[in-house]
Amino acid sequence: MSRVSELIDTILVGNRAALELYNRAFVVSAFGGITNKLLEHKKTGAAGVYALFAQADAEHGWLDALEDVSCAMLAINADMFNEPDDCASANTFVHERIEGARHCLLDLQRLCSYGHFQLIEHMQTIREMLSALGEAHSAYNLALLLRRNGVNARFVDLTGWRDGERVSLEERIVAAFGDVDPTTELPIVTGYAQCREGLMKEFDRGYSEVTFAALAALSQAGEAIIHKEFHLSSADPRLVGAENVRKIGRTNYDVADQLSNLGMEAIHPKAAKRLRQAGVPLRVTNAFDPGDPGTLIDSAHAEKPGVEIVTGLPVIRLEVFEQDMVGVKGYDASILEILTRHRIRIISKTSNANAIVHHVDANLKSIRRFERDLCERFPAADVRAMAETG
């Protein structure tokens, strides 16, 4: 969302005639860097508002961090809007949301100073409320900018701001779109949606794809389109160079799931499942190459089977060897139970008469705990761990 002016000239407006602007909806994420400031830095782990608030010894350090978020949002507004009225409207929106969050957190902090209330019980809700500020800011701004460019854009707020109702994701979307006319309005939708399920509880910062997929399925969209910085390619162009990769062009949801299992998500597997079950094809395009149709992902299998993409992941090879395993039930289930208990992610699995091998994505501490528990259950088993690239 950080290159809005370019997006207006391409995927949002471009050369489209008046009627071509509508019968679409855009689900947007926060502007670059804002969610890092609100929560914690995704790569470095540097504390944002949420992390500072969670630290009991940080006192009111989170207030300074929240003020930093406000300044960053206002700077984005100043850079984004040439019209003073638009900038003033965007600034008012930021002040309202930031001040609302500030008062809420201060009140909660005071409440939890009493022994009957525990802050830990509210941290997931706080995380969702803070994250929602970023999505609301970008969606509001984009709708405002599009209206200035002659598009009848509409800000659709799914964040549940000052809404006391506990509804499902589907109910939240249906209610928000109740009076939206997609033939004459262009909905700009927040990627975060407040709902009974609590999106961040399962998806953490990947919630926007879930909202996107739910909206596409509920609206029976002809296509769901994800606009990325690069095409979905045979390798990462940032690692090997754009000249050394090729666009995938066409693949299916099964391949997308395999890529996701190796950490190369075109879309979150549960979001892809929602689209697949609804019969909605997914298209992944380069937002800055509007003339290219990108890559289509649907349920159809390739007419000519072949290698579509080569990828790898550093994994640990966990081999459990037991000479007396052959013909005995229970080994497989026990190994899986221990892996699950230690939250070790399985990438792939093979087995033969006397050995079961799992390729896993885990840290050394979890591997050592697995080895200890397995040897307690099967003292005669030989457990070997080896680093590989899978």
Query: DSSP secondary structure string, 320-355?
Result: EE-TT-TT-SSHHHHHHHHHHHTTPEEEEEEE-SSE
For residue 332, what are the domain limits?
314-389
* % of residues, the chain, pLDDT over 70: 96
Average pLDDT, the chain: 90
**Has residue 225 been placed in a domain?**
no
According to the model, what pLDDT value does residue 296 have? 93
Last residue within a domain, chosen from 179, 196, 219: 219
C-alpha 248/C-alpha 252 separation (Å) is 11
Give tens-digit pLDDT for 33-44: 999 999 999 888
Provide the domain count of the chain. Answer: 2
**Has residue 238 been placed in a domain?**
no
**Has residue 234 been placed in a domain?**
no
Q: Which residue has the higher pLDDT, 132 or 238?
A: 132
- Tell me the two tokens of residue 228: 């990325």
Q: Which residue has the higher pLDDT, 5 or 77?
A: 77
**Has residue 151 been placed in a domain?**
yes
**Has residue 89 been placed in a domain?**
yes
Give tens-digit pLDDT for 271-297: 889 999 999 999 999 988 888 999 999
According to the model, what pLDDT value does residue 328 have? 83
CATH at residue 371: 3.30.2130.10
According to the model, what pLDDT value does residue 2 have? 55
According to the model, what pLDDT value does residue 157 have? 97
CATH at residue 118: 3.40.1160.10
Same domain, 195 and 325: no
Give tens-digit pLDDT for 371-390: 999 999 999 899 999 887 65
**Has residue 240 been placed in a domain?**
no
Same domain, 46 and 173: yes
* Cβ(292)–Cβ(247) below 8 Å: yes
According to the model, what pLDDT value does residue 314 have? 83
pTM, two decimals, is 0.83
Same domain, 326 and 211: no
Last residue within a domain, chosen from 219, 248, 278: 219
- Residue in the structure block whose two tokens are 């994701």: 169
**Has residue 46 been placed in a domain?**
yes
Contacts of residue 119, Cβ cutoff 8 Å, sequence gap at least 6: 54, 56, 108, 109, 112
C-alpha 135/C-alpha 207 separation (Å) is 11
Same domain, 203 and 322: no
Last residue within a domain, chosen from 189, 219, 249: 219
According to the model, what pLDDT value does residue 113 have? 80
Give tens-digit pLDDT for 103-150: 999 999 888 888 777 888 899 999 999 999 999 999 999 999 999 999
Stretch 233-242: mean pLDDT: 80
pLDDT band at 191 (very low <50, low <70, confident <90, very high): very high
According to the model, what pLDDT value does residue 390 have? 59
**Has residue 359 been placed in a domain?**
yes
Please tell me the chain's helix, strand, coil percentages from 3-state DSSP, rounded to the nearest 5. Answer: 45, 15, 35
C-alpha 203/C-alpha 23 separation (Å) is 28
**DSSP class of residue 8?**
I
* Cβ(227)–Cβ(11) below 8 Å: yes
